[in-house]
Amino acid sequence: MNSYDYSGKVAVVTGGANGIGAAVAERMARSGARVAIWDMDIATPEAKITAIAEASRILVQVDVSDADSVGAALAHTEKEFGKIDILVNSAGIAGPTSTLAEYPLEMWRKVQQVNVDGTFLCCKAVVPGMMARNFGRIVNVASVAGKEGNPNASAYSASKAAVIALTKSLGKELAGQDIAVNCVTPATAQTRILDQMSEEFIAYMLSKIPRGRFVTVDEITSMIMWMASVENSFTTGSAFDLSGGRATY
């Protein structure tokens, strides 16, 4: 696994109690960062999170789709750690597997609120501090679905396309400072988000990956670790594929 020096850095990882976010939080802490884990479910974090030394982590219950909740999480994190250098937006939901014609309107809205509004609100919260300190790294977790579109997943595909566009826009806005904003577009990983999908849909997504397997959270984490590091001092506004050969652009 790759390793970078994160000493003195403070990272916020949304959705960090489980899955991709937990893997990122654990490796950043192991690399010297103090990590604030923002998640709706902080009662049952993965073992790798509870294994992080308490001085290096805090768990903050937050609904990323709610501006007041994000604001409270920001205030608590800055009180505990003094600043935020890195933001990894990993919180997200898949929504149901359904044709567009039959897609529940309330779930369409929920998917956009968590995946798009949540990314926007967390970026909006941390960017002013990054600008004031002239340093920041933001990594948004999008999906190959945002580039190619998955059938019977219109809400999820649209939300991840929006995350990619938001990343490119914000990256250009902040390019004059030492703030990098990028996103990853992974293929499916075996995390709890699969619990929201049918077996048929999971099999379909696996069939689309030329590698013939799902990406691992450690593989995604390895890419994010560079993207969020000081070494990534030039690349911004970009989407990095982890599609196992699926992505065509």
- Domain extent listing, the chain: 10-238
List C-alpha distances in Å: 126 to 2, 4, 49, 60, 168.
26, 22, 23, 15, 17
- Encoded amino acid at 187, one letter: A
Predicted confidence band of residue 203 (pLDDT cuts 50, 70, 90): confident
Q: What is the pLDDT of residue 202?
A: 81
| Cα–Cα nearest to 211, from 192, 186, 191, 193 | 186
Q: What is the pLDDT of residue 9?
A: 98
Mean pLDDT of 207-234: 94
**139-166 pLDDT per residue, tens:** 999 999 999 999 999 999 999 999 999 9
Mean pLDDT of 207-230: 93
Q: What is the pLDDT of residue 241?
A: 94
Mean pLDDT of 10-26: 96
pLDDT of 196 > 70? The answer is no
Topology of domain 10-238, CATH? Rossmann fold (3.40.50)
Instruction: For residues 178 and 84, give the distance between their C-alpha atoms in angstroms, rounded to a whole number.
Output: 14
Q: What is the pLDDT of residue 2?
A: 74
Active-site hit among 103, 156, 204, 249: 156
**47-62 pLDDT per residue, tens:** 999 999 999 999 999 9
Q: What is the pLDDT of residue 96?
A: 92
Q: Over the chain, what is the mean pLDDT?
A: 94
Q: What is the pLDDT of residue 154?
A: 97
Mean pLDDT of 181-206: 81
Q: What is the pLDDT of residue 246?
A: 85
Cα 194 off chain centre by: 16
Q: What percent of the chain has pLDDT over 90?
A: 85
Residue 156 is a catalytic residue: yes
Alpha helices (runs of H) in 5-98, residue ranges in sequence order:
19-30, 47-50, 67-81
Mean pLDDT of 83-108: 96
Assess contact for 46 and 68: CB atoms under 8 A: no
**159-182 pLDDT per residue, tens:** 999 999 999 999 999 999 999 999
Mean pLDDT of 120-132: 98
Task: Kindly state the greatest CA–CA separation across the chain.
Answer: 50
pLDDT of 101 > 70? The answer is yes
Mean pLDDT of 113-135: 98
pLDDT of 95 > 80? The answer is yes
Alpha helices (runs of H) in 134-243, residue ranges in sequence order:
145-148, 154-173, 199-207, 217-227
